[in-house]
Amino acid sequence: MLVSAKDMLNKAKAGKYAVGQFNINNLEWTKAILLTAQENNSPVILGVSEGAGKYMGGYHAVVGMVKGLIQDLNITVPVALHLDHGSFEGAKKCIEAGFSSIMFDGSHYPIEENIAKTTELVKTCNDLGLSLEAEVGSIGGEEDGVVGAGECADPEECKQIADLGVTMLAAGIGNIHGKYPANWAGLSFETLAAVSEKVGAMPLVLHGGTGIPEDMIKKAISLGVAKINVNTECQLSFAEATRKYIEAGKDLEGKGFDPRKLLAPGFEAIKATVKEKMELFGSVNKA
Ligand code: 13P
């Protein structure tokens, strides 16, 4: 069964740990993350960007695959299926398809429009028992063709959006999707502390979890971050494991070309990455 992310994130915020959101791209990815969550007795959030949803065939296909895996693999830890950086239209489609959690990324709209659209979605999500994530201050880097400059959020605007009744809030604090450039200035803990003070108990979300040094992750959690998104790191470990397999010529040995064998190293690599993150975020044994 899919659950809203509300309880798991409120517990994480109160307990000073974070739940990982791991983005999914296909069946192997999803199975690897669900099994790792179960093995580590950790709550988990599966993130789906609009692009990944389209790639997997559509939102109904995603819901069917995730629900089927939860049932067939006997996954009993809390799992939320979450739209990542959704447009207003995408959010409505995912709600209809059966997602249990939605992110509406209205950060590129003027604040008034972000507020109006978020308000409408708060009502729908509340009525249906779904969790809703809002964003203030864009996250840097490129995601599905949308390029953000990585500005820091205005704590006052964060409070305005938080007061609308969203479940969790992503505030830009100098974080970037994808790999961090060598001259990256690091996270703005000053912004994070100011936002945290304004929004009180609301769980905060840290996007761009790939490549943030461990000490910064821990400090961010101590300042109220309760959900951390990881995508690129799983992609990199999957790609590297697959490349090694092919470079060693294993795809040409025996039945090595069988997709179940070809994708196995990447599957194991994602499991290892997810386990490492769950340990770092402190969500092991918190299901
Ligand atoms: P990374 O790709 O940098 O891990 O960021 C993931 C993310 O924030 C998804 O919303």
Write out pLDDT tens, residues 182-239.
888 899 999 999 999 999 999 999 999 999 999 999 999 999 999 999 999 999 999 9
Beta partners for 103?
133
The Å distance, Cα 248 to ligand 1 centre, comes to 30
Given a cut of 90, is residue 144 above it in pLDDT?
Answer: no
Share of the chain above pLDDT 90, in %: 86
Instruction: Provide the mean pLDDT of the chain.
Output: 94
Q: Is 231's C-beta closer than 6 angstroms to any atom of ligand 1?
A: yes
Decide: 134 and 170 in contact? Cβ < 8 Å. yes
For 194, phi and psi rounded to 5 degrees?
A: -65, -40
Write out the H or E segment, with its range, that includes residue 227: strand 225-230
The alpha carbon of 128 and the centre of ligand 1 are apart by a number of angstroms equal to 27
Q: What does the pLDDT look like over 10-36, one tens digit per residue? A: 999 999 999 999 999 999 999 999 999
Rg of the chain in Å (alpha carbons):
18
User: Could you tell which of 229, 236, 277, 281 is best to mutate to test the pocket of ligand 1, judged by most ligand atoms within 8 Å of the CB?
Assistant: 229
Residues annotated as catalytic are: 84
pLDDT at 143 over 80: no
In this prediction, residue 141 carries a pLDDT of: 67
pTM, two decimals, is 0.95
Residue 240 has pLDDT above 70, yes or no: yes
